[in-house]
Structure formats: C-alpha cells, structure tokens
Amino acid sequence: MNEAQVTSSHTRPTAPFIMPASCYNATRRVSRGLMSLSAQYIRREQIARPPARKMDKAPIEHTPRAYAYQKSPSSQYILPTDTPEYERLALQHKTLKNMYNDRLILAPIALKAGDKVLDSGTGPGLWICDLATCVPTEVEMVGIDIESRLFPRAPPRNISFRTASVLALPAEWSNTFALIHQRLLLLALEVPQWPVALREMHRVLHPGGWVQLAESTPWHVGTYPGRPCMEKLTALYRAVAEARGLYVDCAYDMKKMLADAGFVDICSESRMQQMGKWAGPSGVAMKTNHVGVLRGIKTPVLQAGGFGIVSSEAEYDALVEGLDREWDEVPGTDKEFIVFWARKPDGKVIAKM
C-alpha cells in the first residue's frame, strides 16, 4: 500500500481537488496536521454555538411528500424514501464515483470467490449492484437498511437484501464478511449510536476484513457572508440535525471512533468538489444533489416549527430556490467527501507506507 500523493490542479477548476490518503497508525502527525484547522474550527463553533434548538414550536402547515419518510419509529433519519429521493441517490452515487475516479473500493482488498460483502444503509442498493459488475459472481453480497421501500426488485443473483439495522446485526453474522461498506449515515445515526455501529461492524467482519465508510464534512454557520440563503439553510440543516441528536460532524471524529472500536491500519482519502454551473457538469451535478437534500429535509424542519428561521412552507421553498441561484451565480462553494477504510486485526502485519 503506497501513500497517495497530494495532487491538485489550479488549471482545471472543475475537477475534484485530491487531498492525501493518510494512514492513521503510520502517520498520526500528518493526519492531525491535515485535520487540525477543521478540528479547531469545530471546537470554536461548539463553544460559541447555543444549545440545540428544541422541537417545541407548533408545526408549520405544509404539503409533505406522500409516503416519503421511514416507517421505523426509532429512526431519526431526516431524508425521505420516495422516487425523487431514489433519483437523487442515483445522481449522488454517480457523482461520488466520478470524484473517486470510478473506484468503488478504496480499501486494499481483492475480492475473490467465497468472500462476502455487506452494504450497510444500502437504500436502493446502488453501490452494491454496481460492485456486482466488477467482482466474481461467486462473491456473496448483502444489502441492509431499516427501510425496504427502495430495495431493487430484480437484483443480481449474488445479492440479497434484508431489513436490518447496523446497530443490531444478526448474531450469526459474527466473523463473516471480508468487506463492509457504509456511506453517508451522518443524517441517520445519533451521536451515541456511532460507536455501537462501528463495534457491530467490527464484530461481523472476519479477522483481517476491511470496513469502508464515506462521509462528508458539513458547512458551518457564520461563514457565508453575502450568501443569505446559504447562511439560513446551513443553520436550518444544523438545527434539525441537532434537535434529533444526529452527528453531522462525524467525519472529523471518524478515525478516533474507528480506533476505539478496535480497528487498525486506518486510512482516508478526501476529495473536494466545487458546486454550481460555473464549475461545469460536475459542479451542476453536485449542486443538484444538495438542492435535493435540502428539499428532502423540508418536512422535518417545518414539523419542528422552522427553528425561528422560516415561518411558512413558501418561505422555505423560496430559500431553497434562492440557494440554487446563489450556487450558480457566486463562485467558491465546494463540498468535501472523505472515504475512510480500516482493518479488523488478524495478527498479521500490513506493510506501512
């Protein structure tokens, strides 16, 4: 496994900016340096941030998306599970795959016949169905989600889907999987649930197996002067997440959480994508994806009373439309995604970089 080089281009602004892949065990100082500015910012923001707004205001009347949200009463997930959300997830999968140069697996594993793969929080199974086209058909794959509405109707023969939670995986799965994949559960798992989920993934991996997690870093309140729609919607996004106990800042803490769960050889690769039509087709795709996210969280925001930021459905819709224009007209907005991978110990030593 070789250290990825820092490669950035100032001559092609529409291409994703590539940051280093860093190994936690071998390069702790580098990792801390890479994340220090972000971590310092988060600490400052947490100190300055008021307590999470409670959902104690009267809900704002609006027209919700029909049959859109998860049926599980214990779920705090704030995005819907309907046809528009499937289309957004398909665009997101394509966009992220392009950002990482069509690599579905960054962990250093070559899947072989007899291996088993688990896709946690699979949704419509886009990642795992894509993976099925480039691994041996004898690789057995399982996709799980707490909501089955988006499961594909006719998946490849070596893929099965079942309703299950990463917080309580089947007992019989212990030491089973060669690879576990999970992507963008920052709007699904509450703060204390992350260690539980990581321990469960560690349990069901076989010794020497790999976990691969992808998360994004969030935008921060108070950092978008001259962008009123961005500022308000960032505040709403954070307010509804905090009110539900969700950990939108999980990417900043992921390496430590993985280490605490017992993983070793913890690595990451970060990429940045610019947003808006000024950044070309990839910028338009990323913008469209995030506009879809903000439309998707409208009902949770309005059910919570608008957090003192919006007072009607029309006002919320106007903010989203305004942000769509801001991203096109004001260059400079980008979005960071980080893929982490780590290994369950098996007594073997992996060559360091």
Nearest to 268 by CA among 12, 9, 14, 30: 30
Average of per-residue pLDDT across 156-176: 97
Query: For the segment 188-232, what is each residue's pLDDT rounded down to a tens digit?
Result: 999 999 999 999 999 999 999 999 999 999 999 998 888 999 999
Pick the residue with more confidence: 42 or 314?
A: 314
Burial 209-223 (b: 16+ CB within 10 A, else e): bbbbbbbbbbbbbee
Q: Cα-flanking dihedrals φ and ψ of residue 331, to 5°?
A: -65, 155
Query: Given pLDDT bands bounded at 50, 70 and 90, which one contains residue 48?
Result: very low
Query: CATH assignment of 17-343?
Result: 3.40.50.150
Q: Domain coordinates of the chain in residue numbers?
A: 17-343
Query: Given pLDDT bands bounded at 50, 70 and 90, which one contains residue 82?
Result: very high
pLDDT of residue 160: 98
pTM: 0.84
Q: What are the angstrom distances between the C-alpha of 339 and each of 148, 177, 289? A: 25, 19, 18
CA torsion through residues 169, 175, 176, 182, sign:
positive
Q: Please state, in angstroms and rounded to a whole number, the distance separating the CA atoms of residues 7 and 5.
A: 6
pLDDT of residue 28: 38
